[in-house]
Each structure stands twice: as C-alpha cells, then as structure tokens.
Structure 1
Amino acid sequence: MFSSRSSGTYERLETGQGPSRGTLMRFAPWKKFALGAVVIIGLFYVLGPSKSRLIPGSVPSIGKPDTTNVDYSPPPPAPPAHVTAPVHDDDMLPSKPNKLPTGPENDPDLSKTVHCTVPYKSSVPLVQYALMIDAGSTGSRIHIYKFNNCGPSPMYEYEVFRMTKPGLSSYKGRPQEAAQSLDGLLDEAMKVVPEALRSCTPVAVKATAGLRLLGAAESAAILDAVTKRLHDKYPFSVQEPDGVVIMDGKDEGVYAWITVNYLMNTIRSDSPARAPTYAVLDLGGASTQVVFEPVFEKSDSKMEDGEHKYELAFGGKKHVLYQHSYLGYGLMRARQSVHRLVEFMGSLRGSASGANATVVNPCLAQGTSRLVEIEDERLGGKFNVTMVGQDVGSFESCNRIVELVMAKDAICETKPCSFNGVYQPSLLETFPSGKLLLLSYFYDRLQPFLAASKTLASAPLHVSTFGTLAEQVCRGKSTWTELWGGDAALMEELEGRPEWCLDLTFMHALLRLGYELGGEREVEVGKQIEGTELGWCLGATLAMVGADLKCRA
C-alpha cells in the first residue's frame, strides 16, 4: 500500500512551525538541564548501557479553553484515482480504459477526463488543476494535481511531482534569487496544465519551518518577491488571501493527517462506517508533528482545550484531533542541538573546545568523524570543530545525550505531557491499537535498511526496530560489514553519513521516550500511496479546490 518513489531517497523538506499564533516552543531547555547533568553525562564515555526513562501518562487536568474549529464541508472530497467516483449514466464515455491515468504520460487528454464528458455542475470546468509548492528549508517542491468535476465535489486523479534545491531560506538577503529559484518548478506546471486552464488554476506557495527561522523581515522580503514573480511571469491564479505564506504548524500536521486518511479511505463520505483513522507522525528537518484522533473510554475523560485541539468537519463527519508541531525537534535541528551540547560539555570538562578543536562525540559511529559547525550561544557567532566517534560511539551513550536535548523532565503544567512540557493525551491510553504512520525522515532513514534486508522488509516494523538498527550502526564499520557488507548502496550511505548513529537514536527516542510508545508497538513508514506523495500538500489542496473557483482576469 505504501510505496517509494523510484527516483531515489526522499530527502524530506522541513515541515512545520512551532505552536500556532506566534507561540514558539524554543529549543533552549537543554541548557537548563545541561549544567545539572554534566556530572552524570560527563561519564557517558565509560558508562555501560542504561534503560531509557519512560514516564507513564497521568490523568489530564484542567487547561486553558481555546478550541480551533475548521470546517471543509460542504462539499466533501471525492475518492482518489484508484476509487471510481459516481457519474451520470448519460455522461459515461463509451468505453473506459481498464487502467486509469496515473500521470501526463498515460493521460489521453490533459484537458479532459476518462470519468465523464460534462461536469456535474455547469458552473465549473470539466477538469481542474491546482498547484501547491512546499517551500522547505532544504529545498522546494511542486505538486501539480489534476481533479475532475464529474461529481458534486472535485475528484482527485493524480499528481506530478518535482523538486529543486536549495530552499528559499538559503537565499537570506537575496529575495529576488529566492523567487527565481521556483522558476523550474513553475515551468514544469506550464508543460502539464493546458493553456486554456491556466488562468483558472490556483497556485499556493506555503513555506514551512525553515523560512520562519529566518526572522520576520527576511522571510517577508522573500515571500513578497515570490508573490510578485508569480503575478508577473506566470498566468496562474494566486490563491487569495493566503497564497504565499508561512504555514501555521497546526495546519501542516492536520493537512498531512487529511492526506493520509483521505487516500486510505477512512474520512471520505464513502468511507466505511467507523473506519479507524491513522495517526500521523511526521519528522521534518526543522520540526516534527504528531496528529491523531484520541478516543476517551472513560465518561469523565476528555481532551483539554487549547491550541492543540483541532475540530475538523470532513466528508460529512466531525473529527476532534490532537495536533502539535515541535519547532526545533526536526532531524537537522536535533543534530545541531546534540552537537552543541556535546561541545558545551566538553568545554566544562576542560577538554579541547572552541574553533578547530577535536571533540569526542558518542553520537557518531565508532571510527567515524565529521567537521561540524557549532553555533556559539555563549559568545555569538559560529565555529567549526571536528567531531569523532573513536571507540566510544554507542546507542546507549548517545541516547543519554538525546534525553537531555528532548527535555523530558521539563515542567508539565497540564498533564499528561509528551516532552518539553507539551500536553498530549497518552497514545497508550487513547490510541492503544490504532495504526501509526511515520513520514518523511522516518521513512528516509529506514528505507535503505529495508532495501538491504528482505527479512526486515517482510516483517512487521516496530518502534524497537529503530533502536535495534541504532545499536548496530553506532558500533561502526566492522558491524556494518558483517551485517550489510553485501549491499554496496547501504554501505556507501553509512560510510558517507557518520550521523546515521545519531539520526536513528533520535528517532527511537522520539517514539519511545517522547511519545511513550512501547517498543513492541507496530508502525508503518510511508512515502506514497498509490503513486501520490504523502505529506500535507494534498490535504491543503483539497481545501483550496473545494472553495469557490477564482480565475485570473
């Protein structure tokens, strides 16, 4: 059901913002714990294995009332391409192809559809395209979606996907260059969308965590330049009023949840009654999101009110979701924080530190090294150090560093909390047997191992899978050769990326320590469903095409 794109490993563009309405969950708590833990952590190089700390969830207490209400109805979205939508008998083509189009390469007519010959309503076109650009910190990617209007609501048929690097946030101080970086993506849209439909094709550019981290002035200049270039150079209709924006973190997570559950047919109007929904855990580069639909068995239990509560009307049904976006806990930002903490503790122990120093780091695999840029929060500025795994790199020692970074012991004002003091209903209690789908970097880091091992690929995946792989990878090249020496592609990956040890350890800690999932809990990883890219883009586009169609004059 979940498949990978043939073009290679999916390097997820950073997802998410911090908490909505301008409230950021800062990554600073590690400093509060670092000094108090130096004595213990300073021994991590010689200590043996230790068990991860798991704090069981407690009964929720009263929180601040603040409920978000979002309603996408009417109309409910239509089924994806592999599910036939209702059409009028007199509108059916004489013969429908056995295999529905999956892209422009096998679509007989880009301006028409195989599902019907006239639209359900005369006020809408037979075929409608929509463009969604995901502007992340490491790159930008475009989703060119095709819909038809054979039924009462737009029916999704397929997407065309393209990406480019670097991301908009790499063009700090160069807004015009940032805007021009999207030309290749939009030129692809010009090839796909028929000329007669371009003026009525909505386009949106939604930036995520990377651009927010630039600051208000820098990001605003880039967004203004992108808006102007879209108007001046391309014929598409820029979505109003939020066509080119930094997306709210809560919307991003919920849109990803909509995408997954829409494609899995759990939330559409034609979905089976009481179809269980998927929980979506998305790990980007700058942030990570969790969205699920908790079930409270006890009559006196409920979700606390607040920005984490998201009431969604979709497909004629109402869903009350829990969502949160942790800014600073994406994989790339977590790496930076781990390296910074290791260097900081080294300076307190009196070992070499500062510019051009060599620092022993247990989160690098044994026998590996990497030049790392450290952002000096004490004195300001940046400097380079050489991090080495030597013979101390290990899952257990690295895990203790990650525990500090995750601030599991932060004050929890409204219980229960996940980590960093954030309220979250217990997944163990309110989602005990629901399906968990892990996206983005979760998929990226696991997929090479699945490709290298038929046994691993054919067996159910569990939270403990990430821990087992982390233990093996952290041991270094001798273990790699023993386990995966016959797979040249995986060996090249491991040898060229010393932080595999850190990445897998952090992912395991996020699931086990952060979200308090049992090691035996089964999970799924995904990148595509039936050829459609997973993530927030389709969910956001469904909301866009379900609104009134506005064509450009």
Structure 2
Amino acid sequence: MMALTWISVVTFLVLSSIYCIVSHHEPEMWFQNLFPPKVCPANASMDTYYGIMFDAGSTGTRIHIYTFVQRSPEKPPELEGEIFESVKPGLSAYADQPWKGAESVRGLLEMAQEAVPPSHWKKTPVVLKATAGLRLLPEHKAQALLSEVRGVFEESPFLVPTDSVSIMDGTYEGILAWITVNFLTGQLYGQKQQTVGTLDLGGASTQITFLPQLEDTLEQTPVDFLSSFEMFNSTYKLYTHSYLGFGLKAARLATLGALEMEAADGQTFRSSCLPKQLEAEWHFGGVRYQYGGNREGETGFESCYSEVLKVVQGKLHQPDEIRRNSFYAFSYFYDRAVDTDLIDYEKGGILEVQDFQRKAKEVCDNLERYSSASPFLCMDITYITALLKEGFGFGDSTMLQLAKKVNNIETGWALGATFHLLQSLGLSQ
C-alpha cells in the first residue's frame, strides 16, 4: 500500500499541474481545451470519494471503479483501490440493436452500485468514453448507441456530468497514455527528464506518441501530428497520432480483403496467413465474416508478410527519430507477445523489434502447431512485425518495454481521465 500511495501522489501531482493549464493562443495548443481550469474547493475536508470510468473499446466494454481518500486539504488524494470488470463484445457489435448495447452497460453499472456506498451515489460521477470501435461506425448508429447508454446513466443514482457519454478523440487517448507512463516511471519530474515513447494497439486503431528531441523532427512532421501542453512550467510538444483502421482486428479484415467489398452470404475470405484446411467464421463490429486458408496456394511467413505489407506500406508517417528512442508498448502488442511466449504474462519484458519478426517466422512456418491457440496468431504477429518495421519505420534493434501495468497502475488512459473528471467537477483538491 505504501508503494501504491506514493505512485498515486506522484500521479495526482503531475496530473494536477496539467489540469491547471494556462491559456494559449497557438493553434497547436488545442490540448489545453481538454482540461478545463481546475476547481479547487477552499475548505476541502477529509473524505472518501469515487469515480466510475467506462472504457468502451472495439472488443469489449470495461468499467473502472476508483476509490480515493483525501486525508488532508494540504495533501493530494490517495488512490485506495480499483475495481475492474469487462464484458464482450464491444458496443459497436450492437450497431443495429443499440438497446442491447445499453443493457451490457447496465449490468456493469449495477456492479458499481454494489461497490459504491449509497451515501456517495449522488456525488460519484459516471462517464463513458468510446474509442475506435464507435469511430468506425456511421455517425447515426454511433449516436444511437450513445443515446441509449446516456439513458441508462440518467436512470442510475449516480452523478451524470455534461457529455457523460461520448466518443474520445484518438489523439487524446494517445496523449493520456504517454503522460501516464512517463509519470509513473518518474521521467517528468526530478533531475532526469529522458522520456519514453508509447505504442498502443487496439482492435480498431493504433497510437504512437513520443517527445521529439530533434528540430528536424518538428520541422518535417505534419502539423496535425504535433500537440503542445504545459506541465511543471515547461511546454512539451508531443508527436502523437492515432491511425484509425490500423488496429489488430481491423488489420485482419484488411489483410483478408474484407474491407474492399461487402461480406455476402457464402463468401469466404482467404489468406496464406491461415492454416490451409481452416474454414471458420468471425464476428466483428456486428458483421459476420467467413474465412479460411489458401488450400492451393503457399503458406508461411514470407507469403503472409507480403499480404500484411500491403496494409501498412506507405500508409503511415515515419519520423527518423523514433529509431533512437525507447518505447513502452501495450494492449495487443503485449497480448500477442504473451501468446507467443516472448514475454511472461505477469512480468512483461523488454524486446527488440526483430524479436517479433523472429517469432512470426516460427509461428507462420508451423501453422498447424500454433493454430490451436488462435487461427489468427500467424497473421497477428506478422502484422505487428510489419506495423513496427514498415509502418512506423522502427529499426530491428529498437527496444520495446512490454508492460500491462507500471508500478501496479494500468498503463491505459482511464485513470488519468478519471483524475481529470474529478478535478473538473471540483470533487478533489
């Protein structure tokens, strides 16, 4: 608990400094608008309070119920604990039945009522942020889902803020993850400030974020890939971008050629990345796809790599500087590294980019051996290899720290977003 409290204090102090951002007029300073001025109650008293954050991703909906304690007005609150649960599929799977999507949220919300004491319900905010899964839907379908979820929130006993249900911008997602990792690793306070980059691979999108050190990088980068914010009286200009459609599961569809045409009944999409005799179906984004292996064609790493290469080659911006930086990678980067025994599930590990390629060759050249774990394993690990090398432009020896948690804190954006929520509502110091 001592370690958790220390990390929580550091996290809060750093996040607090961001949320009290001063006003700027430069166009690239849009990031400040995501964090309204901090509301600091004059006479805060010792209190326990809660925050409920829903992460509505492309493959599932996750609830984070955080408990905080404010022991003294002179001290930042402490993170006492987190309750986490998830359901599958994600909201986007209910694109044509939005009321069913809302029911999946209702079940998680009922769990929150069990976790939060009734005396705190009215002052406990509940928020849902949807990510790439809903960004890919037609707007009217996405809004129908959000409207149904908002109705569920309004029926609950919790505090429902303005914009309690919304689609989160991918850049916001990437920046919060970068901030969280660098806070928790101590890179943004003290004497040494050598930050690490972050890579996030979801089901529908992927994000890359790092702090450029070279002037050439800033000069050669598209303006919309740069975002500035102030912290500790310093201005940080981040390179950050979210690539919609380049998440792991969206990439499967692109590799199969399923994005180029409608998934008609009886049509089977085939790939050399799959076992030859495979015949199966897969549901994603509310659509059913039939897929299988190339029965007559080649299989193995070389033929699979040529397929996934078409998905990423020439599609992503490649700043030269990333070859010199270290990066934290999580989400599906982590999961597929675990699935192929590159890292331990509990401990994570440090890999070089070439380790993914080595493992992809092993998996794809032994399809029958690995297909029992997942028929997509060869395609997934090969796509990750191509995304890192040919997409982002990483060198073979670029170091990646694979981590699900940093100092026992989740590497995702949910905790940072909850701190922001509580601060903007004046519920914390």
- Whether TM exceeds 0.5 here: the answer is yes
1:425 is aligned to 319
Structure 1: distance between partners of 2:384 and 2:60: 22
Secondary structure of the residue that 1:182 maps to in structure 2?
Answer: helix
Alpha carbons 1:303, 1:309 under 8 Å: kept: no
Residue 74 of structure 1, CA deviation = 7.0
Structure 2: distance between partners of 1:245 and 1:67: 23
Inter-CA distance 363–302: structure 2 relative to 1 (3 Å threshold): same
Residue 143 of structure 1, CA deviation = 0.9
**2:312 aligned with 1:450:** no
2:278 is aligned to 369
Structure 1: distance between partners of 2:218 and 2:354: 30
Residue 273 of structure 1, CA deviation = 2.3
1:226 is aligned to 149
Alpha carbons 2:274, 2:379 under 8 Å: kept: yes
Residue 252 of structure 1, CA deviation = 1.0
Structure 2: distance between partners of 1:132 and 1:225: 17
Structure 1: distance between partners of 2:117 and 2:220: 47
Tell me which amino acid in the other structure corresponds to 2:256. H
Inter-CA distance 343–303: structure 2 relative to 1 (3 Å threshold): closer
Structure 2: distance between partners of 1:550 and 1:474: 52
Secondary structure of the residue that 1:450 maps to in structure 2?
Answer: coil
Inter-CA distance 124–289: structure 2 relative to 1 (3 Å threshold): farther
Tell me which amino acid in the other structure corresponds to 1:440. S
Secondary structure of the residue that 2:416 maps to in structure 1?
Answer: helix
Tell me which amino acid in the other structure corresponds to 2:150. T
Alpha carbons 2:212, 2:218 under 8 Å: kept: no
Partner residue of 1:397 out of 303, 310, 314:
303
1:325-375 per-residue CA deviation (whole Å, 9 max, x = no partner) reads 11111011101111117999xxxxxxxxx975777632125x552435799
**2:137 aligned with 1:137:** no
Structure with the bigger percentage of helix: 2
Larger CA Rg, structure 1 vs 2: 1
RMSD: 3.4
Tell me which amino acid in the other structure corresponds to 1:314. M
Fraction of identical pairs, as percent? 34
2:365 is aligned to 475
Structure 2: distance between partners of 1:340 and 1:372: 15
Partner residue of 1:502 out of 371, 376, 379:
379
Structure 2: distance between partners of 1:502 and 1:535: 25
Alpha carbons 2:59, 2:89 under 8 Å: kept: yes
Partner residue of 1:386 out of 274, 292, 297:
292
Secondary structure of the residue that 1:541 maps to in structure 2?
Answer: helix
Alpha carbons 2:300, 2:367 under 8 Å: kept: no
- How many correspondences in the alignment? 395
Q: What are structure 2's unaligned runs of at least 5 residues?
A: 1-25
Inter-CA distance 73–292: structure 2 relative to 1 (3 Å threshold): farther
Q: TM-score, normalised by structure 2?
A: 0.81
Tell me which amino acid in the other structure corresponds to 1:283. L
Within a 5 Å distance, the mapping from 1:257-272 to structure 2 comes to 257-267=178-188, 271-272=189-190
Structure 2: distance between partners of 1:435 and 1:140: 30
1:112 is aligned to none
Alpha carbons 2:29, 2:228 under 8 Å: kept: yes
Secondary structure of the residue that 1:318 maps to in structure 2?
Answer: strand
Within a 5 Å distance, the mapping from 1:189-204 to structure 2 comes to 189-204=112-127
Inter-CA distance 518–452: structure 2 relative to 1 (3 Å threshold): closer
Residue 495 of structure 1, CA deviation = 1.2
Inter-CA distance 124–391: structure 2 relative to 1 (3 Å threshold): farther
Within a 5 Å distance, the mapping from 1:124-273 to structure 2 comes to 126-149=47-70, 150=72, 151=74, 153-232=76-155, 234-240=156-162, 242-267=163-188, 271-273=189-191
Alpha carbons 1:322, 1:424 under 8 Å: kept: no
Partner residue of 2:355 out of 440, 465, 478:
465
Of stretches 180-189 and 443-452 in structure 1, the one that deviates more from structure 2 is 443-452
Secondary structure of the residue that 1:258 maps to in structure 2?
Answer: helix
Inter-CA distance 546–453: structure 2 relative to 1 (3 Å threshold): closer
Structure 1: distance between partners of 2:203 and 2:192: 34
Q: What are structure 1's unaligned runs of at least 5 residues?
A: 1-64, 77-118, 345-353, 376-380, 409-419, 481-490
Alpha carbons 2:54, 2:63 under 8 Å: kept: yes
Residue 121 of structure 1, CA deviation = 5.7
Secondary structure of the residue that 1:540 maps to in structure 2?
Answer: helix
Structure 1: distance between partners of 2:385 and 2:174: 20
Alpha carbons 1:311, 1:320 under 8 Å: kept: yes
Residue 127 of structure 1, CA deviation = 2.2
Alpha carbons 1:296, 1:302 under 8 Å: kept: no
Higher RCO structure, 1 or 2 (CA under 8 Å, sep 6+): 1
1:159-208 per-residue CA deviation (whole Å, 9 max, x = no partner) reads 21110112111212322221111122212222222222221111110111
Structure with the bigger percentage of strand: 2
Tell me which amino acid in the other structure corresponds to 2:366. G
1:109-161 per-residue CA deviation (whole Å, 9 max, x = no partner) reads xxxxxxxxxx9962365222111101112210011112233445444343211
Alpha carbons 1:73, 1:314 under 8 Å: kept: no
Residue 253 of structure 1, CA deviation = 0.9
1:26 is aligned to none
